[in-house]
A and B are shown apart, each in its own frame.
Chain A
Amino acid sequence: MIAWVRRFVRRHPANASKRGMSDRGMLLFPSTGEVIRAEAVLRDAGVPVAVKGPPPALRQGCDMVVEFPLVEELRVREILENHRLVPLRVAVVEDHLLEPVSLFHVKELGEFLMVRAANMKVTVHRSSGRIVNVSGGGCPDVPYLAEVLVGRSIDEAPEPRSLGRTLCGYALQLAFTEVRRRCRG
């Protein structure tokens, strides 16, 4: 009986705080003033944020960080940029040594070129520069971004970061930038 209770406590979703990983990111700024401003503008924009102390390894001249839902990193960066706030760094609460994926996987498919960044792929028709497909990802802005991008020229299409909100949108932005760089030679 006791073993069963222990197993239940360990395995039941109701006890989620005892397992799993954090889904939060941290924004690091050079000064406390910027931390306070960032918290205010993000809170005004409806992003659930909290000001906390950084782990010792991340103290870079500031003594506070802004915690936010990591999946919304793209939207958070856009909001901050619109208020001329540039974080020193975005770190992952779960493991602050984690870095964004930086490798691109490129595949030639006849007259088409496909670029993958993390879990997102963009494919263009080489000679016309038309975006013919967007695939991958799992966040709900991806199908929306795909509807906006597909059929448009890589030079005329809006940048995914201007419409996207999530880390999948961010990965799509990286793939988009890389495929545009390659198309322009």
Chain B
Amino acid sequence: MSWLIVGTVPRADFGLYWGPAQLDGTELLLGGARVRVARGTPALVAAALTAAAFLHLPAPEVLLAGDVGTGEGSRRIYAALASEVHRVQGPGVTFHYLMPDVAGHNQVLWALESLRPRPLLVADAGFMYAAKMSGFAAHYDLFTPDVGEMAFLADESAPHPFYTRGFLLQDEEAVPDLVRRAYAGENAARALLVKGRTDAVVEGGRIVARIAAPDVPAMEPIGGTGDTLTALVSMLLAARLPIQEACCVAALANRFLGELAQPTPAFGVAEFLPFVPAALTRAWEARRLGPLP
């Protein structure tokens, strides 16, 4: 059974699509449509397809809709998922770029919670914002915020990262305090993978691992490198790694992507895809996990 990736495509002419995805060079094949892999959910899907093939996992399924910010595509996704949740049969779901909509979120979460077994739930980007606003963040297995988003999770009043209060420093040194505040307010998932110059893996409110090397500063400005990280951790969870180990391997592998590709800040995320197998191999070996699947 396939992991499900839910998100949006930055095109107004792309309808609702729920089904398999294929990668053809730097484009996704989605039914009869072709979508360029530049950033956002298409980048996440492309990296997940590449990782799944390398790890001998079933290719992830996707639920996507075109949305350029009107929220229409996102609303179609919320409605489709809530009404056809029986189609979710894989081990997990990753939510990505969606218009934050608390009512839509709650319908989706309610539907997913009715499934037995309930799939693992990973949230990033707009859907993570909605999950926090809903008050049900603790129902999720993993969030993947960056430092700015971590401050948003830590601020019990903020409805969006744009309105995070200034006294919450958005610096990496502040991450332990932000983590403590986020868990105290029940605004965090069971585990967090906090993306930064040093990635922090958090489980149950405690930082259990920090990954700082290799450090490739050019990765930070490249749109989509957070998406590849969310893709990798999702596929490692699909491979049945425990959540902490999946986060550590994914964080390491994403860093090895940078070391292998030697990017400049002008890189496009699709240029990393050929390096995914080697990066995963290095990370797997570094964590001494035995033979790859």
Residue picked from B97, B161, B170, B223, most chain A C-beta under 10 Å: B223
Least CB distance, B10 to chain A, in whole angstroms: 4
**Cβ contacts under 8 Å, A123 to chain B:** 221, 265-266
Q: Is the CB of B166 within 8 A of A92?
A: no
Q: Is the CB of B97 within 8 A of A136?
A: no
Q: Which residue of A lies closest to B65 (CB)?
A: A140
* Among B69, B135, B159, B218, contact of A166 (Cβ-Cβ < 8 Å): B69
Least CB distance, B68 to chain A, in whole angstroms: 4
The number of chain B residues with a CB under 8 A from chain A is 66
Stretch from A17-25, A36-44, A55-63, A80-88 contacting the other chain: A17-25
**Cβ contacts under 8 Å, A118 to chain B:** 148, 161-162, 164
| Chain A interface, DSSP helix/strand/loop, else mixed | mixed
Q: Is the CB of A121 within 8 A of B221?
A: yes
Q: Is the CB of A98 within 8 A of B136?
A: no
Least CB distance, B29 to chain A, in whole angstroms: 19
Q: How far is the CA of A116 from the CA of B147 in the complex (A)?
A: 11
A32 an interface residue at 8 Å Cβ cutoff? no
Q: Is the CB of B69 within 8 A of A167?
A: no
Q: How far is the CA of A142 from the CA of B10 in the complex (A)?
A: 8
Q: How far is the CA of A27 from the CA of B269 in the complex (A)?
A: 39
A129 an interface residue at 8 Å Cβ cutoff? no
Least CB distance, A35 to chain B, in whole angstroms: 22
Q: Mark A70-113, 1 if CB is under 8 A from B, else 0.
A: 11110100000000000000001011001111110101011010
Q: Mark B151-187, 1 if CB is under 8 A from A, else 0.
A: 0100001111111111000100000000000000000
Residues 166-185 of A at the B interface (beta carbon under 8 Å): 166-171
Q: Is the CB of A105 within 8 A of B133?
A: no
A9 an interface residue at 8 Å Cβ cutoff? no
* Among B125, B152, B157, B265, contact of A132 (Cβ-Cβ < 8 Å): B265
Q: Which residue of B lies closest to A74 (CB)?
A: B69
Q: Is the CB of B159 within 8 A of A138?
A: no
Q: How far is the CA of A12 from the CA of B39 in the complex (A)?
A: 34
Q: Is the CB of A119 within 8 A of B266?
A: no
Q: How far is the CA of A102 from the CA of B162 in the complex (A)?
A: 9
Q: Is the CB of B97 within 8 A of A139?
A: yes
* Among A14, A114, A119, A139, contact of B69 (Cβ-Cβ < 8 Å): A139
Residue picked from B38, B103, B129, B224, most chain A C-beta under 10 Å: B129
Stretch from B20-28, B48-56, B70-78 contacting the other chain: B70-78
B281 an interface residue at 8 Å Cβ cutoff? no
**Cβ contacts under 8 Å, B103 to chain A:** 16
Q: Is the CB of B40 within 8 A of A142?
A: yes
Residues 228-269 of B at the A interface (beta carbon under 8 Å): 264-267
Q: How far is the CA of A137 from the CA of B133 in the complex (A)?
A: 16
- Assuming A136-B148, A140-B68, A142-B97, is B223 touching A171 (CB within 8 A)? no
Q: Is the CB of B10 within 8 A of A171?
A: no
* Among A22, A101, A103, A135, contact of B221 (Cβ-Cβ < 8 Å): A135
* Among A11, A12, A16, A138, contact of B126 (Cβ-Cβ < 8 Å): A138
Q: Is the CB of A135 within 8 A of B223?
A: yes
- Assuming A107-B220, A112-B221, is B39 touching A143 (CB within 8 A)? yes
A141 an interface residue at 8 Å Cβ cutoff? yes
B100 an interface residue at 8 Å Cβ cutoff? yes
- Assuming A94-B159, A119-B146, A133-B223, is B97 touching A143 (CB within 8 A)? yes
A134 an interface residue at 8 Å Cβ cutoff? yes
Q: Is the CB of A70 within 8 A of B97?
A: no
Least CB distance, A155 to chain B, in whole angstroms: 18
B113 an interface residue at 8 Å Cβ cutoff? yes
Q: Which residue of A lies closest to B224 (CB)?
A: A135
Least CB distance, B74 to chain A, in whole angstroms: 6
**Cβ contacts under 8 Å, B41 to chain A:** 143
Q: Which residue of A lies closest to B111 (CB)?
A: A13
**Cβ contacts under 8 Å, B221 to chain A:** 107, 109, 112, 114, 121, 123, 132-133, 135
List 7 A-B residue pairs with CB atoms under 8 Å apart, sorted by A's residue number. A13-B107, A75-B69, A112-B265, A119-B162, A138-B149, A144-B68, A165-B70
Given contacts A72-B71, A101-B162, A135-B226, 6 further A-B contacts (CB under 8 A): A23-B159, A138-B128, A141-B69, A144-B10, A145-B69, A165-B71
Can you list the 4 inter-chain pairs with the closest CB atoms, starting with the nearest?
A141-B69, A143-B40, A20-B135, A138-B125
